[in-house]
Structure 1
Amino acid sequence: MSDKPDSPLMPEVTFSTFVLSLASSALMHLGEVPDPETGRTVRNEALARNAIDLLTMLDDKTRNGLSAEESKLMRDILYELRMKFVAHA
C-alpha cells in the first residue's frame, strides 16, 4: 500500500471482503448498481452468471472450512444474487 496521502485506503483482505467484492461485481453486471468507473448501469448476463458461478464454486470448495458467520454470508449472498438473476431473466 502506498504512503501517499491521496491514495485510497483499501479494506483488509478477508474472506468476507472477497465474497462481497464478487457479489458487488455480480450486482453491477445484473444492472443493479452502476459501474464505479463509468457511472453507467449496464446489464451483462454472461458476466453476472460468471460471478455467481465463481461464488458457487467458492461455496462448494470451502463449505466445511468456514466460520458460522462466513457460511451465513455466503448463503445469503448467493440466495439474493440468484433471485435477482432469475428476476431479470
Structure 2
Amino acid sequence: MSENTEPTKESIQESLPETESQEVVSEEEVITASHENTEQQTAQMVSENEPAEESSSVEEQLEDLENIEFPEASFDMLLMQHHTQAMLALGLIPDPATGKVIKNKSAAKFHIDMLSIIQERTEGNLNEGEAEALNGVLHNLRMMFVNNP
C-alpha cells in the first residue's frame, strides 16, 4: 500500500500556479492536486467564520495550511471528499486553487468507481442513513457523468 505522507511547505509552493495562462492540465496533475484541493477545501471550511485578509502573503497562506485542524474522520467526510473531487473533474465547480474549471472525465470516473467499490464492500454493514447517502451520491454523480459531455 502507499505511504501516507504529510505535504511539505515546498510541495505546496510547487503546486501553486505560476501563471494564469496555463490551460492544459494532465490527468496526473489533476489526481496529484486532488489531495491538495481537499486540504484547501478543509482550510476554507475552517476559516469561513474568520474575516479574510486582502493582502495575505503566500508564506502566511502556507503557514495557515500547516496549522489546519481537520474535522473528525467519518463516513460522510469520505463520501463528501469523493463527491467533491468528481464534481471538480466533471467541470461542475471551479478548482478552488486556481479558480479555473478543469474537465477530466477519467478522474471523475475514478472517484465514481471508488464510491462504487465502497458501496460493494460495505453492503450490509452501513446504517440506513449511510446507505441512503451513498446511494444518493452515486446516483447523482452517475447522472451528472452521463449528462456532461
Do Structure 1 and Structure 2 share a fold, with TM-score over 0.5? yes
70, 73, 89: which one aligns with 2:130? 70
Matches within 5 A, 1:1-89: 6=64, 7-89=67-149
In the alignment, structure 1 segments of 5+ residues that lack a partner are: 1-5
Higher relative contact order (CA 8 A, sep 6+): 1
Aligned to 2:101, the other structure's residue is in SS state coil
How far did 1:9 drift? 2.7
Q: Deviations over 1:46-66 (max 9, x none)?
A: 000010000001100001110
SS at match of 2:96: coil
Q: Distance in 2 between matches of 1:67 and 1:36?
A: 33
SS in 2 for 1:56: helix
Q: Distance in 1 between matches of 2:73 and 2:142?
A: 25
1:15-62 Cα offsets, whole Å, 9 max, x none, are: 110111011000000001111221211110000001000000110000
Q: Work out the percentage of aligned pairs sharing the same amino acid.
A: 31
Distance of 2:72 and 2:98 partners within structure 1: 25
Does the residue aligned with 2:98 lie in a helix, a strand or coil?
A: coil
Equivalent pairs, count: 85
The alignment yields a C-alpha RMSD, in angstroms, of 1.4
